[in-house]
Amino acid sequence: MEKKKMGRPTDDPKTIVKRARMSEDDVKKLNECCDILQLTASDVIRLGIQELYEKIQKINEKI
């Protein structure tokens, strides 16, 4: 059996898998974002999480 090739080593390995239930409309929006930004769905979701997290941090700073 052939050895599986390893990807590039990274400082931030993505080892955790999460699942989400989405409507068809959510999937269409996600796919449109992927097409426009030329990113994977995982990358778009991570960007969305980062943006939301930054907004929350700004709100917490004001309190």
Read off the pLDDT of residues 14-44 as tens digits, 9 standing for 90 and up.
999 999 999 999 999 999 999 999 999 999 9
Does 52 or 12 have the greater pLDDT score?
52
| 3, 4, 15, 45, 59 from 18: Cα distances, Å | 27, 24, 10, 11, 27
The pLDDT score that the predictor gives to residue 1 is 62
* Least-confidence region, from 1-5, 24-28, 38-42, 50-54: 1-5
**Could you tell me the pTM of the whole model?**
0.81
Distance between CA atoms of 47 and 29, rounded to whole angstroms?
14
Residue at token pair 């929350």:
56
